[in-house]
Every structure is written in structure tokens, then in C-alpha cells.
Amino acid sequence: MTKSKDKGPFASPVDRRPFMAMTAGAAAAAGLSGKAYAQGSRTGVDPTKWTPEYIKSIAGTENPDTAAECYKVVPKDYKGRLTYWYFGPTQASPQIEHDIDKQFWEAFKALYPNIQVTALNLNYNEMIDKLRTSAIGKAAPMVVRLPILAGVEFAAKNQLMEFGPEMVGHSPQDFWPGALKSVTWKGKTYGVPTNNETMALVWNAGLFKDAGLDPESPPKTWDDLVAYSKQIKEKTGKSGYGMVARVNAGNTPFRFMPQLWAYGGGALDEAEANPTYKSIFVNNEGSRRALQASYDMYVRDKSVPVSALTNTQNENQDPFISGNLGMMIAHPSEYAVMLDRAKKATGDDKKTAEAVVANMRYGLVPAGPARRAIVFGGSNAHVFRPDLVDGGLDVNAAKAIIAFATGPEWSTKMAWVSSNPGNVRGFRTKWMKERIETIKFLDVTTSMLPNGIPFPVVPQATEIMNIIVPNMLQNVLTQKMTVAQASDDAAKKIKELLSEL
């Protein structure tokens, strides 16, 4: 039913140039340590199995019939109404994401012509606030695609319907256990994972060369990253690392928590083998070392953008494409973003941008003394309770969109350049094969999956990750507090927060 259009994104590769030095990703993934194996137990991603080679070998081995699968759940002629909120492509997204989003809605319309859809594409940072308000005002959407961090809060408030993969014809085995855990509260399931991803380290090999660093070798540890950042600043005058420390912005925890976890820290004990979410790690030795590393880069070495305190990741894109930033943590989609920007640039800017794109490399996020870590991110589809939905809930319409969006086809396509399919059957599809063949650096970010650590599954996770942790970071970077004071202050706030339960 979703036959590729001749000039659609699934027929036109993002980039067909031969893979360049192709990063440390594949090699490093093959040599994953025992630590990574232990981490894999938290996400359910077995690092000995989910190697880039394995992913390549299974891609294209399954040809799902999306229409048939969906019609088993909701018949084609079903007539209904659907309200759907999601965080889709923004102005900072590559064009390909806009194209796929458009095709998604066209395909759904073709599949269920009698379901009237009102879809609202919200900014990631606005989504949660608006949803909280609308749920209180009994004007929530029927279905929402929420960041992985946020769903549990709504489940704890009893605002979501019990809704699991089985309700839309999928098996729980089709999803990563770590992803299913993020939709589980007190033993009940409240959603279906749509996509799951881990990010990687992106660097500008040209800037590395100018700074006297090996252009093909990313920093292996966070201590190395601090040193590399300093060297880039000293030798080139450009910012070394794209730190992000804005409060109330999802980008901050996605970039700072890997550092915190790598040094052996955390907000709670989410990085431990069997997290209880009752122990506070934010002021332990590891967390303090991570904070000190950030302090060293921002205050001591001045090797990161001064604007890091007000920046989101979007504000790192322009400095990177203009050759003014050496390293950053990003999705695989960052490459597509840079290609788009290079195409739009003119004159000398175009030459610079093209050089940066050619010099762009992806590698594993640095390890720390405790582990290599990255946020096991993604999003989940949830259904709101009928009494909280404006105009009532149309369960079948909700089932139809979730069956469609979380099936192997569209969970792969909707994650085209930025993520991975939430439904692991997506890895077996021809679309996954096309992704692997056409999207540069995809396997590097996929190689980070076994190092993924999910955010704590507690209702307070949003406040901890988006407010308390970034505030702790800002308190250190502005020298309002010492590292010890800031981490103790954050620990006190988390303790108070947890004691409210």
C-alpha cells in the first residue's frame, strides 16, 4: 500500500558516496566490552547479537504487508475521528523528514479514508507542558506520541488508558524490553514504542587536522574529549565541543547524562544493573567528576561555545556547518541536516559547508571510567482516558493510527534519518536495508544501542532531567556554586521530589 514514489525519499538515497573511513563505530561495536553487555541488560539490546553485521544481514529478509496487518486490528471501512499530537519535523529538520511526514499522513489517509484526522505537530520542548494543561482541562488528544521520558508521569496520574502492543496486533517481543519498560507503570502497560535511538559523537575531521589531532580518531574517553576540545580551541580558535546546558530543553540531558553515567554518576541509580530509582547518585564521586569535566571545558579552558547555557542542539548546527565547532553529540540525521544546509549555502559559505560535510565523521560517544553510555531515547504512542479527551475517545481510530505507526514499515520510515524503528521487525524490512545502504553513519549510531541507558521510569523524571540536572550544570558553569555545592543542591532537590510520592 505504501509503494515508494519514484522521487520519494525512499527511492532517492541521502548520499550514495562511498562510506569514508567509516568511523570507529563498526569496529568498536565488534569489540564491545563486558560493561556494554551489562548495560544491554537494561535495554534488552544484546550487544553480542545486535552488531552492525547482524543488522545488515537481517535487513530485507521480511516483507510486511502493512495494510493487511492494520486491517486485522481495525477494518478498512471504519468511520471515525482521531486527534493526534506528536513532535514531528521542525524548521531545523532535514527536508527528508518533512517529506516522510507528509507521506505518512497520505498513506494513513489511503489506508483509512473514513477516519478524520486532526494532527498537531508540536515542538519537543513545548509538548509536555501543553499536554499537561490540556489533560487537566479535559481537552487532551486521543493519541499522543510522547518523548520516552514523559509518558510515565501521565500514567502515574491515571490519565492514560492501559494500552499495549497486543492491542494493535503486535507482540511485546517485537519491541526492546527497555522501551517497553518506559511504557510500564506499576506492572501495567500504557503505550507502544514508536522508535528508539542512541546518538553518536560527530566531529569535523578538518578541524581535528588543523588542531594537530588525528582526523580519523575521535576521543576515546571523556577526559580525552576535554583535552581535544582544549587543543582545538588553542590551535584554531574554534570551539572544541558543542556543549548544551539550557534548562528545560530535552537536548541537555541527552548530552550531559551520557557524560554523568560514563564517570559512574547518574541522577538516580538508573545506570546500575538493577535500578531501584530510590538511590540518589547525582552527588556521588562520578557525577562530580563529570561536572568537573564540564567546568574544565566551559570555565577553565573556554573551549566550548559561551552560549552553551542558552543553546539547544539546534544552535550547534550553524557553528558546525560553518566550521566553527569541532565535536558534538547528535543523531544520524545531523548528517542530512548538514547536507541540506550545504545545499542552501551560497558563495564562500557553500565551499566551507561542503568541506565540513566532506569532513564529517561519526564515532562512538566517549567512554568514562565506569562505562560508555548514551541515552536510550525515542518515543512512545499513548492513548488518553476517554473522559480527558475533547469530544470523547474513538478507540478504534486510536488503534488504527498506533497499529499503523508502530508497525514494521512506518516505525522504520518515520525513524528514517533520526532514529531506529521501535518495532524490531522493522530491522528486517527492505526499508531498513535501504536505510543502511543510503544513510551515512547509520550503523555507528546503531552500534551505540547496547550502550543505551533508559531514563529513570518515575513520574518525576521530566523534572529531574529537564530542570534539576541542567540547573546543577548551570550552577557550576556560572560559578554560582562549586561542583560539590551544586551536586549536593541537586541531590537535595531530588530527595525532596522523591519524598513527595
Partner 1 sequence: MTLATTEPAARERAMPMPRRRGLLQRIWHHRHDYLYVLPAIGVMLLVIAYPVYYTVYLSFFSTPPNLALEDKIFVGLKNYGTVLTAESVHEATWNTWVWTIWSTFFAFVIGFGAALALNRAFLGRGLLRGTLLVPYVISAVAASYIWRWIYHSDFGVIGALSVQFGLTERPINFLDDRNNVMASLIVVNVWKEFPFAMIMMLAGLQTVPEQLLRAAQVDGANALQRFWHVTLPHVKGVTLVTVLLLLVTNLNSFTIPWIMTGGGPAGASEIWITHIYQIAFGRIRFGLASAYSVILFIVMMGLGYFYVRALTSGDERTPA
Closest CA to 452 of 193, 191, 203, 177: 177
* Residue 193 bridge partners (DSSP): 380
- Residues 89 and 101 sit within 8 Å (Cβ to Cβ): yes
* Residue 62 bridge partners (DSSP): 429
User: Under the criterion CB under 8 A, does residue 76 sit at the interface with partner 1?
Assistant: no
Question: How does DSSP classify residue 388?
Answer: G
User: What DSSP string runs through 197-252?
Assistant: E--EEEEEHHHHHHTTS-TT---SBHHHHHHHHHHHHHHHSSEEE-----TT-THH
What separation in angstroms does the CA of 202 have from each of 59, 230, 317, 424? 25, 17, 11, 25
Question: How does DSSP classify residue 264?
Answer: T
Helix axes 347-358 and 314-321, enclosed angle (nearest 10): 100
- Residue 52: which region, alpha, beta or left (left: phi > 0; alpha: psi -120 to 50)? alpha
Residue 228: CB minimum distance to partner 1, A? 19
Q: Residue 31: is it exposed, middle or buried by C-beta count within 10 angstroms (0-12/13-18/19+)?
A: exposed
The residue among 217 and 310 lying less far from partner 1, judged by its C-beta, is 310
The cell for 82 is 482521531
Residue 450: CB minimum distance to partner 1, A? 31
From candidates 123, 133, 276, 279, binder to partner 1 by CB under 8 A: 133
The residue among 68 and 501 lying less far from partner 1, judged by its C-beta, is 501
Name the helix (H) or strand (E) containing 152: helix 151-156
What separation in angstroms does the CA of 416 have from each of 140, 272, 431, 436, 485? 28, 31, 9, 10, 43
The residue among 313 and 466 lying less far from partner 1, judged by its C-beta, is 466
User: Under the criterion CB under 8 A, does residue 478 sit at the interface with partner 1?
Assistant: yes
Residue 128: CB minimum distance to partner 1, A? 9
* Residue 86 bridge partners (DSSP): 121
User: Under the criterion CB under 8 A, does residue 252 sit at the interface with partner 1?
Assistant: no
From candidates 301, 466, 469, 491, binder to partner 1 by CB under 8 A: 466
**Count of residues engaged in binding partner 1, rule: CB under 8 A:** 36
- Residues 128 and 150 sit within 8 Å (Cβ to Cβ): yes
Show contacts with partner 1 in window 297-326 (CB under 8 A): 305-310, 318-319
User: Under the criterion CB under 8 A, does residue 484 sit at the interface with partner 1?
Assistant: no
From candidates 460, 483, 487, 491, binder to partner 1 by CB under 8 A: 460
- Interacting span for partner 1 (CB under 8 A) from 35-43, 77-85, 216-224, 459-467: 459-467
Binding mask 230-249 for partner 1 (x = CB under 8 A): ---------x------xxxx
The cell for 193 is 514504542
The residue among 58 and 247 lying less far from partner 1, judged by its C-beta, is 247
The residue among 312 and 451 lying less far from partner 1, judged by its C-beta, is 312
Find all residues with CB under 8 Å of 31, minimum gap 6, and list them: none
Residue 249: CB minimum distance to partner 1, A? 8
From candidates 111, 477, 490, 491, binder to partner 1 by CB under 8 A: 477
User: Under the criterion CB under 8 A, does residue 471 sit at the interface with partner 1?
Assistant: yes
User: Under the criterion CB under 8 A, does residue 23 sit at the interface with partner 1?
Assistant: no
Show contacts with partner 1 in window 93-132 (CB under 8 A): 129, 132
Residue 133: CB minimum distance to partner 1, A? 7
Block residue for cell numbers 494500552: 163
User: Under the criterion CB under 8 A, does residue 500 sit at the interface with partner 1?
Assistant: yes
Show contacts with partner 1 in window 255-274 (CB under 8 A): none
The residue among 90 and 133 lying less far from partner 1, judged by its C-beta, is 133
User: Under the criterion CB under 8 A, does residue 136 sit at the interface with partner 1?
Assistant: yes
User: Under the criterion CB under 8 A, does residue 352 sit at the interface with partner 1?
Assistant: no
- Residues 84 and 119 sit within 8 Å (Cβ to Cβ): yes
Binding mask 140-159 for partner 1 (x = CB under 8 A): -------------x--xxxx
- Residues 441 and 362 sit within 8 Å (Cβ to Cβ): yes
Find all residues with CB under 8 Å of 44, minimum gap 6, and list them: 176, 177, 178, 179, 180
Please tell me the number of Cα atoms within 13 Å of 312 on its side-chain side.
Answer: 11
- Interacting span for partner 1 (CB under 8 A) from 30-38, 171-179, 361-369, 455-463: 455-463
Residue 308: CB minimum distance to partner 1, A? 7
| Positions that interact with partner 1 (CB under 8 A) | 129, 132-133, 136, 153, 156-159, 239, 246-249, 305-310, 318-319, 459-460, 462-463, 466-467, 471, 474-475, 477-478, 480, 500-501
